[in-house]
Structure 1
Amino acid sequence: MRTDIGNALGGEPALTRDALDELDADVAAAHERIAAGMADDEFGYAALNLPETADPERIRAAVEPFADSEAVLTVGIGGSALGAATLSNALASDIDAYYLDNVDPEHTTRLLDSLDLSRTAVNVVSNSGTTAETLSNFLVVREAMESAGVDWTERTFVTTGPEGNLRNLATKHDLPALDVPAGVPGRFSVLSTVGLAVAAIQGHDIDAVLAGAAAERERLAGSLYDSPAYAYGATTYALAQRGALTNAFMPYAESLETFAEWFAQLWAESLGKDGQGQTPARALGATDQHSQLQLYRAGPRDKLVTLVRPTERADRDIPETDLEGLSYLGGESLGTLLDAEFEATEASLTAADCPNVRLEIDRVDERGLGELLFGMEAACVCYGELADLSTFTQPAVEWGKKAARGLLGGGEFEEAEAVRGKDRLVVE
């Protein structure tokens, strides 16, 4: 992964090279703290050890019974689904991957009706084994399989913690079970059983994913000028301190659209605490040049734009044409056009004094994705250290979970009472 922070300097809000040089001492201290946490396998920091501690052979063995699958359906939510979806949506496979990561009844019904459940592997993912959305969806999936005459125990495996409902279910029905790694929050779990099982079923090279991540791990260093991950984490932190409280994350590859969703969860849930944080805004190049770019270039000066691209890709020629005004496109290619759009957007933002950062990988392949995923995780942890945040917790998310559970009769929670006491001003 390569990080170009040159266009983050001198814009509005203003960040100077001198300010980055001063911040570099804090990056060195942050790196010492991160390295110590990794060495002790502390909660959260253990995620940065996954390139070494993940067990790809164990993953392949667990999913081997599902080698005949035409599709794989993951039932999970948030970090239990987004990492796997990032990989499966970025990499081509003959085995389709689907995700039930919401409890919209119409969507769930449409999806289940569209699948041949007798040839579908079902992957149920929940660390606690008690996540209401995940277990509710799984009960619906199990019922659909039974109604279709499919033995759900032959088509299901679970990824979960050492105890809880899913672990008990796996034991009772002798289901293949993968362990969620200890000390790794869900949004940081893509490089583990949680994110790699679907990729293994699809036939992707999960060793290469981990190798790419390991390469980025080796590049962590005590200076932002020596580490692409820390360069990004430190620059985004410095800009947020100066008022760039929105981070528009804009990959220039259709295959990386889900990666932007994964990034949004990582950034928002990890850094949105104590009145701090940077709001991630998902965009897609070149599509959103025709919509969101207007705001980024000419709106309030409170934004950073992160542009992401592979430097190599399969290409397709644009046919010659005699249409007036379009002849210049003939003989070019779609890839050349997309690169021109990327560079034009970058230059446009810079000309308008909008800070922007370029992230690049060689290709959207297993190794490149490993580099990018690990790099963003390390950048996030670096930002959290610089901001003195509790990066690996999510108290606001837990509040909502308790409120929903109480409303459904799953216990007495004061959060549910707060929902019931909502003020209303209805206009009809």
Structure 2
Amino acid sequence: MISFDFSKCSLKDSEMEALSKEVAKARATLKKERESGAVGFWALPFDEDLLIRCRNVAKDIRYRFQNLIVLGIGGSSVGLRALSRALWPSDNRLRLLIQESPDPQSVEKILKAIDLNRTCINVISKSGATIETTTLLDHFLTALKDKVGEKWRDHVVVTTEQNKGKLFGLVEKEKLIHFEIPENVDGRFSVFSAVGLFPLTCIGVNTQKLLKGAARAVDNHDNACRNGTIHYLLNKNHGKTISVMMTYGDALKEFGGWYAQLWAESLGKEGKGQTPLACQGPQDQHSLAQLFLDGPKDKVVTFIKVAPQRGDKLGELMERECNATAQACFESGCPSVTITLPSLDEETLGELLMTHQIQTAFTGHLMGINPYDQPAVERIKKFI
């Protein structure tokens, strides 16, 4: 299990206790939304049927193809990017390419580098109408049809909501393989749905263990709620308007980006919220740490480290670097929480990501806002 060290959060017990009624109310809201099924991300770690179907389809994909291109943006890609980076199997033979942006140079670079005859495209969009993703799909399908002709349908897997949007219309018209994104699961909370599970299964990640770790966080989320309470109080009462996520370990590099999207899009509403900042240790000790220690006192840092194996000199150095930075921050008036991972495996990463989803939802309820919508993002779409 992952462990939390709250000793450097710089909050008094009395301040935490003064919020006990609000905390109890927020926890009751979590319990209600889980038990009622109104919010679907809670149930995802227990969906055995989806796990089996992902395995069956992935087996065929791994047999027939050399490349898997995932087209998706935001919640349809960042969780997959984080987990595939952290859990990439050493014996995987399927090349995974994730394309989020309709940047023409990036797209043409991919098309020049791959053989479309040996390529599967997994297009992901909850709404089925995300303009970046549908435009990318049109471009890739044109190239795919030119290469393989009428067989293009055998190269496409669609992950989208049922009975909604352009993508589901394509599924019905062309009889494509389809994975459903549940209506009650928001995109940034969807990593344990087919959004993440199918491509991760394709590259050989043990998704059963991934879900086991996520289920562990669902069953015991005391630390998620405590960490959310700390971030809420530091923001509301102490002016900590920036939430820094500092990971130690190259495998965790993409986790910070996933957290930034989750925290910002869920909580940045009604003039409230914290600005997330993702960085990596020890590299950013030589840049951003100067700001953390000697700049404005407007930050709370979450450190994530991996417990070193006995005799692992490099791992031991990484741990000392993390501990030293946390201590220096504490002495400089920059509060922090440290999370220690026992290892970098599927169960641990499943627990880590689900813990932060629960923490985010809980913090939103403490703030009195809806953590599951994104009204300002929808306003941008009106101008595109």
| Counterpart among 292, 298, 302 of residue 294 in structure 2 | 298
Question: 2:383 aligned with 1:393, yes or no?
Answer: no
In the alignment, residue 304 of structure 1 is paired with which amino acid? V
8 Å CA contact retained: 2:308, 2:319: no
CA apart distance, 1:141: 1.1
Q: In the alignment, which residue of structure 1 is the partner of 2:3?
A: 2
Number of the residue aligned with 1:330: none
Secondary structure at the aligned position of 1:67 is classed as helix
Say yes or no: does 1:61 pair with 2:56: yes
Question: What is the aligned partner in structure 2 of residue 51 from structure 1?
Answer: 45
- For residues 86-101 of structure 1, the aligned pairs below 5 Å read 86-93=82-89, 94=92, 95-101=94-100
The answer to whether the 8 Å contact 1:245/1:278 transfers is yes
Note the alpha carbon deviations across 1:116-160, whole angstroms, 9 max, x for none: 222222110011111110010011111222333464212110001
Determine if contact 2:307/2:315 at 8 Å carries over to the other structure.
no
Q: Which amino acid aligns with 2:13?
A: R
Please say which structure displays the higher CA radius of gyration. Answer: 1
8 Å CA contact 1:248, 1:305 repeated in 2: yes
Task: Give the Cα separation in 2 of the matches to 1:115 and 1:89.
Answer: 20
> Which whole-Å deviations, capped at 9, do the CAs of 1:374-396 have from their partners, x for residues lacking one?
00000001100111011111001
Instruction: Give the TM-score normalised by the residue count of structure 1.
Output: 0.84
Q: Which residue of 1 aligns with 2:187?
A: 186
- Report the Cα distance in structure 2 between the residues aligned to 1:71 and 1:78, rounded to whole angstroms: 22
Match of 2:322 in 1: 342
Give 1:188's aligned amino acid: F
Cα deviation for residue 3 of structure 1 reads 1.8
What's the CA shift for 1:312? 4.1
TM-score by length of 2: 0.94
Contact 1:3 1:359 in 2 (8 A): yes
Identify the residue that residue 252 of structure 1 maps to in structure 2: 248
Aligned residues: 375
Q: Does 1:213 align with 2:214?
A: yes
Give the whole-Å Cα distance in 2 for the aligned partners of 1:88 and 1:294: 31
- Asked if the contact 1:62/1:178 (under 8 Å) is kept, the reply is no
5+ residue gaps, structure 2: none
Amino acid at match of 1:31: R
Aligned-pair CA distance for 1:337: 1.6
- Aligned-pair CA distance for 1:40: 1.1
Is 1:367 matched with 2:347? yes
Return the letter of the residue paired with 1:155: H
C-alpha displacement of 1:71: 2.5
Structure 1 CA distance for aligned equivalents of residues 314 and 114 of structure 2: 34
Which of 382, 406, 410 is the equivalent residue of 2:362?
Answer: 382
1:308 to 304, 309, 318: 304
2:67 to 65, 71, 77: 71
C-alpha distance in structure 1 between counterparts of 2:127 and 2:58, whole Å = 21
Q: Name the amino acid aligned to 1:98.
A: L
Supply the distance in 1 between the matched residues of 2:340 and 2:22 (Cα, whole angstroms).
Answer: 25
Deviation at 1:314, TM superposition (A): 10
Query: Mapping of 1:190-201 within 5 angstroms?
Result: 190-201=191-202
> How far does residue 91 in structure 1 lie from its aligned partner after superposition?
1.1
Matches within 5 A, 1:153-302: 153-163=153-163, 164-220=165-221, 227-241=222-236, 242-302=238-298
Amino acid at match of 1:77: I
Using the TM superposition, give the Cα deviation of residue 347 of structure 1 relative to its aligned residue in structure 2, in angstroms.
1.1
Is 2:308–2:315's contact at 8 Å kept on the other side of the alignment?
no
Cα displacement (A) at 1:19: 0.4
Letter in 2 for 1:386: L
Look up the SS of the partner of 2:343 in the other structure: coil
**3-state DSSP class of the match of 1:86?**
helix
User: Aligned partners of 2:21 and 2:304: how far apart in 1?
Assistant: 27
1:118-157 matched pairs, under 5 angstroms: 118-149=117-148, 151-157=151-157
Matched-pair identity in %: 33
- Could you report, residue by residue, the CA deviation over 1:239-275 in whole angstroms, capped at 9, with x for unpaired residues? 1112100011011011111111110000000000011
Give the CA deviation at 1:279: 0.4
Report if the CA contact (8 A) 2:67-2:97 is conserved: yes
Paired with 2:235 and 2:373, the residues of 1 have a C-alpha distance of 20
Letter in 1 for 2:381: K
Structure 1, 264-273 or 231-240: larger mean CA deviation: 231-240
Deviations 1:327-358 (A, max 9, x none): xxxxxx22122111111111111111110111
C-alpha contact (below 8 Å) 2:161/2:181 kept by paired residues: yes
- Structure 1 window deviating more from structure 2 (353-362 vs 367-376): it is 353-362
CA distance, structure 2, for counterparts of residue 334 and residue 118 of structure 1:
43
- Asked if the contact 1:30–1:386 (Cα under 8 Å) also holds between the matched residues in 2, the reply is yes
Contact between 2:242 and 2:274, CA under 8 Å: does it hold in 1? Answer: yes
